[in-house]
Structure 1
Amino acid sequence: MELRKAIKAASTGTIAPIYVCYGPESYFMKQLIDTITEQAIEPEHREFAVSKFDLQETPVEQVIEDAETLPFMVPRKIVIAKNAVLFTGAKDSGKVDHDVDRLAAYLKSPVDYSVLIFTVNADKLDERKKIVKALKDQDALVPCLPLLGDDLTRWVQDRAARLRFTLLPGAAEQLVLNTGGHLQALHSELEKLALFAGDGGQVSAQLVDELVARSAEQNVFLLIEDIVQLRLDKALTTLHELLKMKEEPIKIVNLLARQFRIMLQVKELVQQGYSHQQIASQIGLHPYAVKLADGQTRKYDTAKLSGILSQLADLDYRMKSGRIDKVLGLELFLLGLAAA
């Protein structure tokens, strides 16, 4: 079941008996669940007409029993079960054994007075499993995947319009970069910007940068930009700001490696004649982020970028094995990068 169709159908009162929401974008899961709840249950009844379970603590057969129990004083109820790892290929870290056959039996004849919703934070389900195949046959699988590229920019601009303010050119892209493109963070920051701008107001990219806290990924991007532009003092200042924010040095190394890996991919694809839009679609980035990464690569050749990635892999190993102080290792890496 495609996410937009599921939300649209639920908003008009057409609600399926079973949903399995999976993917990394929890914002969309919440949006679908909220839409179903608003349509299925009156506000005054939601406190006792919505049941919530954690499948790492509760067996799935107990969830089914709750779904089959007649609702109290309301015509319909909602049963939500999170951490449905049993639908994936991952090893369940919980100590609960699930009777999947009990769930399979329920799928053949679900009750009409309960809406059963499973959620799982996984990019994909294991379609080799019989239970997943059965759910797919019933069109119960709802992927909740991140928005990318122009789709994400349009989503930001659309939300700004609904909040009755305008994002000036470049502001939506800056907002995506500062938040890392996470929808829940974008939603919160847009509401904050709406209060600042007022009804009919305008927000520039500079204002976004002043008002919206940068993600760790964005700070690392700026750190690399300072190195590229030979602003070593500023790069070290950004590094120490990240450390003050309690960012783990090994995480910073991994983020640095991620950004240099993106730069290498962008450089190679640009050399092959790909446009920024095509590159964005291929590697799953926003076109604006690709444009900025392309600008950063111009002072590095492919061999140099590959060498930097090797240095970061070595630094990661030395940090984890205790062969070098983590902060000192990062500082020496940045000094070496600037010297080169």
Structure 2
Amino acid sequence: MDAKAAAKAVKQGDVSSVYLLYGSEKFQMREFAEFLETQLIPKEDRDFAIVHMDLGETPIQAVVEEAETVPFMVQKKLVFVRDTSFFTAAKDNGKVEHKPEALLEYLNNPADYSVIVFMVGAEKLDERKKVVKAVKKAGVSLSFAPLGGEDLLRWVDKQVRNRGCSLREGAAEAIVRNAGTSLQTLAGEIEKLCLYAGDGGTIDTSTVDMLVARSTEQNVFALVEDIANLRLDKALGIYYELLKQREEPIKIAALITRQFRIILQVKTLSAQSYSQQQIASQLGLHPYAVKIAGEQARKFESARLEGILNHLANLDYQMKTGAVDKVLGIELFLLRLGA
């Protein structure tokens, strides 16, 4: 079951006694937790009906005890439980002594007035643990992974439409290019853009470039994209802008190297029939970054990419030893690459 199906079930009155939410996409995880809160607990009851606990500070048996305690002045309560190691293979360095059997026993006969929501900030659960198997069997387990390339763009478009605005062609890509792939950051930038456009307004790429500031990493990402598309004037423009922001040329060169290394890795793995998701997992990257790197990779031969990386390694050595002026060294590299 995915989050959409779980939300539909809740709206239809099919509420589980326990939810296990896990994954690296914390924004969507929080959204689902807030959805449960709004659907199950009236606003006026939330002070009495919502409990927050942390397994890094509280034993699991205390969570069970809380769930078994009849709610005060309300019909149902939500117990949100944060976790980093109880359901995963991560080493527990805390001093809290957990008794998993308490939860296992509770799951055999859960209280009908309590809903426990475990929120695990890890990509994977430890499927060997009895508690993981028991919770999955007795409740609902939902994974919140980073959105893939096209899914991320659809999410941006939906968020904009939900705020009463629309996007011109290329604007969604521009928002992600400038703001990055963090949903939390994207949501904030989308809200800003929609406030500027006004109700019923339209957002285009020029508006995005005017209002959404790029980080150094995103600027380098755009710089490499311009190089790949032979837009040397734009690439140099980004470079000069980074210098105005007092960015260290050696750092800029390192980020350019990292991006070209990713492009080569994506090209190599794609040639071995790896999917975008598999490549993202293998390289520890966001799926959207893999999508863009894949598009860039098609514009370079592998030998050419290897040559660029060798050139960058030599440039790094020359800059650090003072053999070449740092600013001029990167400028010449970009000019030669464009040529």
Q: Which TM-score bucket, shorter chain as reference?
A: 0.7 to 0.9
Contact 2:263/2:296 (8 A) holds in 1:
no
Instruction: Report the equivalent of 2:189.
Output: 189
- The answer to whether the aligner puts 1:148 opposite 2:113 as a matched pair is no
AA partner of residue 46 (structure 1):
R
SS at match of 1:44: helix
Q: Secondary structure at the match of 1:90?
A: coil
CA spacing shift, 1:307–1:52, aligned 2, 3 Å? farther
- Report the CA distance between 1:97 and its aligned residue: 2.3
CA distance in 1, matches of 2:256, 2:94: 33
Matches within 5 A, 1:254-273: 256=256, 258-268=258-268, 272=271
RMSD: 3.7
Taking the TM superposition and a 5 Å limit, the aligned residue runs for 1:209-248 are 209-225=209-225, 234=237, 236-240=239-243
Q: Partners in 2 of 1:314 and 1:59 — Cα distance?
A: 55
CA contact (8 A) 1:86 1:92 kept: yes
Once residues 95 and 254 of structure 1 are traced to their aligned partners in structure 2, the CA distance between those partners, rounded to angstroms, is 41
Q: How far off is 1:100 after superposition?
A: 1.2
Question: Residue 85 of structure 1 aligns to a residue in which SS?
Answer: coil
Q: CA offsets, 1:273-327, max 9 Å, x none?
A: 98xxx965553466797457644774x54245346657889999x9xxxxx69xx
2:110 is paired with a residue whose SS is: coil
Is the contact between residue 266 and residue 293 of structure 1 (CA under 8 Å) also seen in structure 2?
A: yes
Instruction: Answer whether contact 2:226 2:232 (CA < 8 A) is retained.
Output: yes
Say yes or no: does 1:283 pair with 2:315: no
Check whether the contact 1:264–1:297 (CA below 8 A) recurs between aligned residues: no
Following the alignment from structure 2 to structure 1, what is the Cα–Cα distance between the partners of residues 117 and 143? Answer: 13
Counterpart secondary structure, 2:86: helix
Sort the Cα spacing of 1:93 and 1:262 in 2 relative to 1 into closer, same or farther, 3 A: same
Q: Distance in 1 between matches of 2:295 and 2:98?
A: 49
Q: Return the alpha-carbon distance in structure 2 between the equivalents of residues 102 and 273 of structure 1.
A: 47
- 1: CA distance, partners of 2:312 / 2:91: 30
Distance 2:315 2:106 in 1: 53
Q: Specify the alignment match of 1:99 in structure 2.
A: 99
Q: Aligned runs of 1:13-32 on 2, under 5 Å?
A: 13-32=13-32
* SS at structure 2 position matched to 1:63: helix
Secondary structure in 1 matching 2:175: helix
Structure-2 separation of matches of 1:159 and 1:204 = 15
Please say if residues 55 and 82 of structure 1, whose CA atoms lie closer than 8 Å, have aligned partners that are also in contact: yes
- Cα distance, 1:188–1:287 mapped onto 2, change above 3 Å: closer
Instruction: Output one character per residue of 1:93-128: Cα deviation in whole Å (capped at 9) or x when no partner.
Output: 433221111111111111111110111111111111
Once the 2 structures are TM-superposed, how far is the Cα of residue 267 of structure 1 from its aligned partner? 4.0
For 1:159, the equivalent position in structure 2 comes to 159
| Structure 1 position 7 matched with structure 2 position 7 | yes
Measured after TM superposition, the shift of residue 150 of structure 1 is 1.7
Which residue number corresponds to residue 39 of structure 1?
39
Question: What secondary structure, in the 3-state scheme, does the structure 1 residue paired with 2:102 have?
Answer: helix
Question: Is the contact between residue 56 and residue 83 of structure 2 (CA under 8 Å) also seen in structure 1?
Answer: yes
Q: 1:227 to 1:17 in 2, by over 3 A?
A: same
Change (3 A) 1:105 1:183: same
What letter is aligned with 1:188? Answer: G
- In structure 2, relative to structure 1, the CA distance for the partners of 1:143 and 1:296 (3 Å cut) is closer
AA partner of residue 18 (structure 2): I
Cα gap change, 1:235/1:6 in structure 2, threshold over 3 Å: closer, same or farther?
same
Aligned positions, number: 323
Superimposed CA distance per residue, residues 215-238 of structure 1 (whole angstroms, 9 cap, x where no aligned partner): 443122134356776668646545
In 1, Cα distance between the equivalents of 2:328 and 2:97? Answer: 50
- Distance (Å, rounded) in 1 between the aligned partners of 2:325 and 2:315: 7
Name the counterpart of 1:321: none
Query: Whole-Å Cα distance in 2 between the matches of residues 335 and 206 of structure 1?
Result: 26
Q: Equivalent residue for 2:72? A: 72
Pair 1:207 & 2:203 matched: no
In 2, distance between residues paired with 1:333 and 1:103?
Answer: 62
CA contact (8 A) 1:227 1:337 kept: no
1:266/1:253 CA distance change after superposition, 3 Å: same
What are the Cα deviations for residues 157-176 of structure 1, in whole angstroms up to 9, with x where unaligned? 12222211110000011112
Query: Residues 224-268 of structure 1: CA distance to partner in whole angstroms, max 9, x if unpaired?
Result: 356776668646545556766xx9x87x78754542233114544
Q: Corresponding residue for 2:283?
A: none
CA distance in 2, matches of 1:269, 1:211: 36
Identity percentage of aligned residues = 42
Matched with 2:50 is 50
- What displacement does 1:24 show? 0.8
Q: TM-score, normalised by structure 2?
A: 0.80
Gaps of 5+ in 2: 281-285
